[in-house]
Amino acid sequence: MALQCGIVGLPNVGKSTLFNALTAAKAEAANYPFCTIDPNVGVVTVPDPRLKKITQMIKPQKEIPTTIEFVDIAGLVAGASKGEGLGNQFLANIRETDAIVQVVRCFDDPDVVHVAGSVDPLRDIDVINTELMLADLESIEKRKTRVEKTARATKDKAMLKELDIITKIHQALSDGKPARSIEFDKDDQAFVKGLHLLTTKPILYVCNVSEEDFTAGGNDWSRQVEEFAKAENNLAILICSAMEAEIAQLDPEEQKEFLESLGVKEPGLSRLIREAYALLDLQTYFTAGEKEVRAWTIRKGTKAPQAAGVIHSDFERGFIRAETYNCQDLFDLKSENAVKEAGKYRSEGKEHVVKDGDILVFRFNV
């Protein structure tokens, strides 16, 4: 399940530095706009302490974490929806991702040029969000014109329904509201997703602050972003991308000592990855045996046969049942045998909805 988060923002807000820290890739980080000419894609593991605990109890030959992809997309500027900067190219890159991580500059540094000449995170957010809405508006206007003509000519119910949805989206965008601000019926959500609109994607704001402000829990700029995100029913988190880049170069023991010296429990990147994972409405289940303990990614609400299909299509096609218990039962009772004796080990059928942290054994026949 190759799910992607696109990292976006104005030039020189710390996107590529953050991406480098996330993925240990070689995305160029330079003090001028558009140094990233092609989107850089990095696959990162999702931090999950439960995997290590399961491994310690099951003692497999190897452990395999689950992953998520991040795409570093070059800085957008005002007018991107009309092709300013490298706008159209990168708006297309964003359209292909599943969620948006918007990096917002909340630090002042005279040595790092701001494309607008001053630090103002709410203005910067407005620039990015406006460009995304304008790009969607252009796309939806073209679709509306085409559908409107066909719907009027044929009176087809499906086409009229499509026109109704598109008209609602067009009105919201025209009013300066993202498409995600509209509540759609469950039946309509699949159609809306198929429109590949930028403003239907979930968004996570990342406040890039100085090291001093990170350890202090933020600054006035980051608090503005947090309040803005809350009003949108979104989330904002703190990151010091320069510090995270330094941490990424240390070995685990040095990382631990460095974080302890700052009074921080874990790198900010760990929270960023987990929040991005949750942003995509994802959860983790595990398989555990002598050969390997492995984490698998599924959408929340996934039923057992479809969860099995993530491993192999044959597992889903020939699904018989799933034998399951939650990893917390293993942690509490210390062994799989104890879980069984306590009656926590269950056999579930096709309608079973897999929960976060479940450990599963699939029985199938092809």
**Mind listing the pLDDT tens digit for each residue in 5-28?**
999 888 888 888 898 888 764 445
Do residues 8 and 18 make contact, with C-beta atoms less than 8 angstroms apart? no
Inform me whether the pLDDT recorded for 156 exceeds 60.
yes
DSSP 201: S
- Which has the higher per-residue pLDDT, 91 or 198? 198
Element containing residue 104 per DSSP (H, E): strand 99-105
Q: Tell me the two tokens of residue 186.
A: 């469950």
Closest among 191, 171, 169 to 180, alpha carbons compared: 169
Distance of CA 362 to the CA centre of its chain: 28
Confidence of residue 152 (pLDDT cuts 50, 70, 90): confident
* Mean pLDDT (whole number) for 288-298: 96
Is it the case that residue 296 has pLDDT exceeding 50?
A: yes
What lies within 8 Å, CB to CB, of 313 at 6+ separation is: none
Helix %, strand %, coil % for the chain, to 5?
Answer: 45, 20, 35
What is the C-alpha to C-alpha distance for residues 323 and 320, in angstroms, rounded to an integer?
10
- pLDDT given for residue 241 in this prediction: 92
**Pair of tokens at residue 12:** 């020189």
pTM for this entry:
0.85
Please give the pLDDT value at position 32: 45
pLDDT top residue among 290 and 252? 290
How far apart, in Å, are the Cα atoms of 150 and each of 146, 187, 189, 212, 336? 7, 22, 22, 59, 61
